[in-house]
Amino acid sequence: MSRPFPGGLEHSTHWQNVLQQLKAVIPSAITALVMTFTSWQFAVFVCVVFAFYYLPFVRRLQVYVLIAASLFFYGYGQPELLPLLVVAVVGTWAFLALSIKRSRAWTKYGIVFNLGLLAFFKYKFLFVATPVATGSAVSDFLLNLPLPIGISFFVFHNISLLVDLPKQGRAATVWEIFLYVIFFPQLISGPITQARNFFPQIQEKQISKVPFVEAARWLVLGYFFKLYCANNLNEMTSYMAHPLFETVKTGDKWLLIFLYSFQIYADFFGYSSIAVGLALLFGYRLPDNFNRPYISRSIAEFWRRWHISLSSWLRNYLYIPLGGSRHGPARTYFNLIAVMGLGGLWHGAGLSYLVWGLMHGVLLAVERPFLDKLDSVRSPALQALRAAMVFLIVSMLWIFFKLPDFGQAASYFAGLFTESTVQNPPKIYRTLALAYSLPVILQHLILPHQPQGAWARAIEPFAYGALVALAYAEAGPESAFIYFQF
């Protein structure tokens, strides 16, 4: 099915050429660097590892099988960065051992070590330009290494490890740490699993205890939301990029920010669901990462429902250590804004990410004194209005997430309130937008009212079969998972 261009671009040969050039010269480098969850290579990889993992003579070696599989998965596109992964894990293990056997001060040194790795690879280009030539072969090699995929996630895992295990007085082998940090379903984009929840699960697994039905549900949902919803919406929201958004009518700019809200949810929910399903196949349970965030009635509730594993990590390892809400309102508001600002920078070294995080922090602080009073009002109309306002605000702030260049993001934001004379898109464009957004909308609105009983269980396989058919027959063009870049 051909997709028409929004904003009348189907009538503009010039902009069609611009779009094709952008797609040609900016290929999905991230997709090329990893064995993506949606590739046939990954399907073969999982089948081979699964078949070998549950062989009787392998049972005592299952941890090592998963470590080897995870190293292969990570090194498939970036073998030169495998030593970094090994250094990060072994270094964290060494600091953990010193913290448990000698002094808790080593925990702080271990955290600094991990944050140093993150800062060097993710934020060095705030201070140096690329390509870099220093005259030293070693420094040139290090400075020109690409950003390791998933570094933000495995650094957060390392910090959780350093904080949790010393409190429990629990030692860990280097192999257990390797598995916790690099377990391939969660290695690239989470969910961020806290050490206290993962380590008790490291034990021999039996295929008879695998919840195949539950795993299949998660996998079908994940692939459906990624292939059918996110990939198709990605084709439309490509017009949010500069300079294409300058050719889009004001009303369609608004439409695109809502489509991006649905896309980023479908994309990340899809990844998280696939990760949960894969982990279940190997006997591990990862945390749920989403709980219908777009029905939230406050920004605070949104962050309890969106990227739950990140919100929990920021609360437990940053907000509470900073003092949380224990030192009066002013300190509480500062902590909220500071934590969310750092959370924004965690996503990327750019002013747009910082602004996105700070704005969420400011909104958390502004709404905090009024939440109890608002929550006490039982009016359904008021609650619906609150949810609509939160969705509108969150969607508008996604602009700074979608466009890491702050100037471009500010220009798009301003364009929402400036009338444009560009021709309206044809109606079929809006029809397609609704078709690919509808699953997200329905999931948020009907989940609490799912039918129960024998008849519902009887039709469930057919419903999931329909999702598989749609994902296969109407999958959008291949695109990298959005959170791969973090």
Q: Which of 207, 189, 223, 198 is nearest to 468 (CA)?
A: 223
Spatial separation of the C-alpha atoms in residues 335 and 341, rounded to whole Å: 10
Identify the active-site residue in 307, 347, 360, 444. Answer: 347
Average pLDDT over residues 16-28: 39
Number of Cβ within a 10 Å radius of residue 312: 19
Using CA atoms, how far apart are residues 348 and 344, in angstroms rounded to an integer? Answer: 7
Express each pLDDT in 84-109 by its tens digit. 889 999 999 999 989 888 888 899 99
Residue for token pair 């999958």? 475
My answer on whether omega of the bond before 131 falls inside 30° of 0, hence cis, is yes
pLDDT tens-digit map of 243-252: 888 888 888 8
Report the 10 Å Cβ neighbour count for 119: 14
pTM for the model stands at 0.88
User: Is 347 an active-site residue?
Assistant: yes
Residue 20 pLDDT: 41
Question: What's the token pair of residue 468?
Answer: 């598989």
Yes or no: say if 65 and 49 are a contact pair by the CB < 8 Å rule: yes
> What's the token pair of residue 452?
């129960």
pLDDT of residue 34: 61
d(CA 389, CA 100): 48
Confirm if 421 and 248 have CB atoms less than 8 A apart: no
Q: CB within 8 A of 187, min separation 6: which ones? A: 70, 73, 74, 150, 153, 154, 181
Distances, alpha carbon 93 to alpha carbons 166, 169, 182, in Å: 12, 14, 13
pLDDT, tens digit, 9 for 90 and up, residues 197-221:
999 999 999 999 999 999 999 999 9
Return the sign of the alpha-carbon dihedral for residues 205, 208, 209, 215: positive
